[in-house]
């Protein structure tokens, strides 16, 4: 059972809906139709899996989730989008985590060329550390913070709680600091979760 389910994702300047009437990859839709999980959307799902404390296990033919409600919802959507959470987490092991502010948290993951930082939290806080965003094809794109905040406000007007995700890079593995989360980040996208709890799975 997942409460506070994901209902929208904004990635690569495209708005996706997450429809509970479907399962698997078809649950994530663009203009009401099934969509390919492209670069930008996949990066959101990766971030939502790595910067996340929830766990998932099979229970018969369904998934069983445990952890914080919002983390459960994020992980459930990532799995629906084709992410193999166990494999991803094994290939990018978490080596540190940090609460940057009351509204943001970060995790550090080992990778072949150093370490990747993933940050999630309130858009207003996460954006302060971003100097670019991810476009549809996974490339760096000029960041229009005002536009991003307007999109977040529109999600909230639709009754959603909004989480922003960003990514950073360390050339070598070292302790994670709050300063690492305050500059040089790449905004990956926004996720809107339904505030009113309801049973989805």
> Has residue 132 been placed in a domain?
yes
Q: Look at residues 39, 41, 25, 46 and name the one whose alpha carbon lies nearest to residue 91.
A: 46
Query: For 88-104, what is the mean pLDDT?
Result: 92
Give the confidence band of 63 by pLDDT, cuts at 50, 70, 90. Answer: confident
Q: Domain boundary residue among 71, 89, 107? A: 89
Q: Answer yes or no: do 175 and 130 share one domain.
A: yes
Query: Domain limits at 56?
Result: 6-89
From 55, 71, 89, give the residue that closes a domain. Answer: 89
Q: Is residue 199's pLDDT more than 80?
A: no
pLDDT digit string (tens) for 30-55?
999 989 899 999 999 999 999 999 99
Q: Is residue 102 domain-shared with residue 171, that is, in the same domain?
A: yes
Handedness of CA 135, 182, 108, 193 (dihedral sign): negative
**E strand map for 77-184:** 94-101, 104-111, 114-121, 130-134, 140-141, 160-170
- The last residue of one of the domains, among 89, 109, 143, is 89
The per-residue pLDDT of the chain, averaged, comes to 91
Q: What is the rounded CA–CA span in Å between residue 190 and residue 201?
A: 23
CB 201 within 8 A of CB 75: no
Average pLDDT over residues 96-104: 88
Res. 61: pLDDT tops 90: no
pLDDT value at residue 3: 65
Q: What is the pLDDT of residue 196?
A: 61
Is the domain of 105 the same as that of 183?
Answer: yes
Q: Residue 73 corresponds to which tokens in the numbers above? A: 């919802």
């Amino acid at each position: 059972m997942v409460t506070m389910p994901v209902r929208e994702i904004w990635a690569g300047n495209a708005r996706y809906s997450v429809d509970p009437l479907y399962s698997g990859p078809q649950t994530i839709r663009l203009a009401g139709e099934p969509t390919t999980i492209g670069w930008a959307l996949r990066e959101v799902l990766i971030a939502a899996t790595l910067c996340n404390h929830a766990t998932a296990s099979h229970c018969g033919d369904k998934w069983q989730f445990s952890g914080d409600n919002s983390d459960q919802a994020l992980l459930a959507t990532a799995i629906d989008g084709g992410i193999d959470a166990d494999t991803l987490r094994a290939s990018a092991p978490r080596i540190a985590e940090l609460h940057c502010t009351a509204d943001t948290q970060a995790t550090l993951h080992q990778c072949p060329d150093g370490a990747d930082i993933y940050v999630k939290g309130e858009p207003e806080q996460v954006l302060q550390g971003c100097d670019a965003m991810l476009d549809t094809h996974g490339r760096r794109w000029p960041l229009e913070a005002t536009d991003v905040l307007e999109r977040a406000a529109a999600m909230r007007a639709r009754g959603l709680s909004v989480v922003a995700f960003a990514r950073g890079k360390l050339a070598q593995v070292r302790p994670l600091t709050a300063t690492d989360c305050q500059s040089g980040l790449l905004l990956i996208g926004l996720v809107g979760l339904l505030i009113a709890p309801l049973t989805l799975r």
